[in-house]
Amino acid sequence: MTRDALRTLPRDGGRFTVVPTDPVREEAAEGPDLRACNGCAEDFARTLDAEAAITGEVRTVSNPILDIDVYLERLKRGAPERAFGVDPRGDTGESFDRGIEYLVKNRLLERSE
């Protein structure tokens, strides 16, 4: 559910065009965690002729506290990775929805240049 929102909200915000990941989906699913694979997410993005790679992770800090982080890696040489995070309270679908919506609209779309 969070993955779907992360693919939809940036596109709906008019700042990003989400490219189809079908050509690399199977390889990406079989490989290591995209945040811990030493640049494979960026390699997949380049294979797709994308201008940036957006990855994310969700962690449970404690029962009522979650951590949702999204990383934006522009593929231009020398552009630093940007990290955006939100810590929603409550382990429910509604808290995930509110958290990812806030993160995308108020962090990623506002400061992604």
Is 18 inside a domain boundary? yes
Residue 81 lies in a domain: yes
What integer pLDDT is reported at residue 49 of this predicted model? 93
Q: Is 60 left (phi over 0), alpha (psi -120 to 50) or beta?
A: beta
pLDDT tens readout for residues 31-74: 778 888 888 889 999 999 999 998 888 888 787 888 889 899 99
Q: How many residues does the chain have?
A: 113
For 66-103, write each residue's pLDDT tens digit: 888 989 999 987 788 889 998 888 877 788 888 888 88
Question: Domain range for residue 13?
Answer: 2-108
In a domain, 28, yes or no: yes
Q: How many domains does the chain have?
A: 1
Residue 94 domain-assigned (yes or no): yes
Residue 113 lies in a domain: no
Residue 76 belongs to some domain of the structure: yes
Q: What is the DSSP letter of 21?
A: -
Reported pTM: 0.80
